[in-house]
Structure 1
């Protein structure tokens, strides 16, 4: 069920061509079928941004195969385990679908375990998720990026500090302070 729904959402973005966009943040991407689905939509012009903390069995940036796929690994002060999926047209054209849950893109998670993904329907929660993903994908955030030769290259500022996590922490703390001052 989970596998088929994710494939459906990925293929839906493929139908949008260059207007399609998939963003996924997981610990691991090792499922062959998911890799092939992401390759297929990349070849249709869909932008695919992957934030993978650990194992990644996909080759990014290969002309004719995955030139529209970017893979980043963002390491920092906090060990991140969140699984996040954003499909730009998941609820209709220009109607993004935001999902959070427990599933990594591995065969055992998709086929043999009880895993859950749930949509975020509240606009504020969607905004938080967009802020998080956009911060992690920003060019000025220290990260490692997967190159087409399967090597990882450090990108972002020369000084390598857990920049994205600090920015997100400060953003959340500021929002909480503003909220508390209204009470």
Structure 2
């Protein structure tokens, strides 16, 4: 999968990975992975979404999965991946991804050496995706 990500980057595809921590792929290597960004958002919650979003020629596809891309999951476990077909659900999931990628409080970004550093908040607004997602979930629970 890492080789395929590198091939995609070399072909000009923008790749953004939201990982929990360990990531063997190295972003930002000239002529190899300069179109790849790897971020880790770890705060109050350690969970990591297994959302796969693809966009090509105006077509969007979103999949959810029980597996991350660890070798043990690909070779030794039975996992499932399924498409999201409902338009409203796609929009909600896409908004969640955009929120996580906009986080400027808990986000650490991986450099080409594999080291993580905190993203400097250059915005006047602090965006803590986990706090915002918690509030959204809490509000939705009250509404039901």
Counterpart Cα distance in 2 of 1:152 and 1:175 = 34
Corresponding residue for residue 70 of structure 1: 37
Is the alpha carbon distance of 1:88 and 1:141 closer, same or farther for their aligned partners in structure 2, counting shifts above 3 Å? farther
Corresponding position: 1:106 with 2:73: no
- Measured after TM superposition, the shift of residue 71 of structure 1 is 0.2
More deviation in 134-143 or 161-170?
A: 161-170
Is the alpha carbon distance of 1:74 and 1:162 closer, same or farther for their aligned partners in structure 2, counting shifts above 3 Å? farther
Corresponding residue for residue 21 of structure 2: 54
- Measured after TM superposition, the shift of residue 108 of structure 1 is 2.2
Specify the SS of the correspondent of 2:99: helix
Equivalent residue for 1:163, pick from 128, 135, 139: 128
Corresponding residue for residue 147 of structure 1: 111
The runs of 5 or more residues in structure 2 that have no matched partner are none
Deviation sequence 1:160-183 (CA, Å, 0-9, x none): x99111111223334454x44xxx
Corresponding residue for residue 6 of structure 1: none
Counterpart Cα distance in 1 of 2:105 and 2:139 = 20
Deviation sequence 1:103-161 (CA, Å, 0-9, x none): 11122211221010011111221112111111111163431100122211111439xx9
Specify the SS of the correspondent of 1:88: strand
TM-score if structure 1 supplies the norm length? 0.70
The runs of 5 or more residues in structure 1 that have no matched partner are 1-33
Q: In 2, are the aligned partners of 1:49 and 1:71 still within 8 Å (CA)?
A: yes
Q: How does 1:9-28 map to 2 (within 5 A)?
A: none
Q: In 2, are the aligned partners of 1:100 and 1:120 still within 8 Å (CA)?
A: yes
Superposition RMSD in Å: 2.1
- Matched residues, number: 141
Kindly report structure 1 stretches of 4+ aligned residues shifted beyond 4 Å. Answer: none
Corresponding residue for residue 89 of structure 2: 125
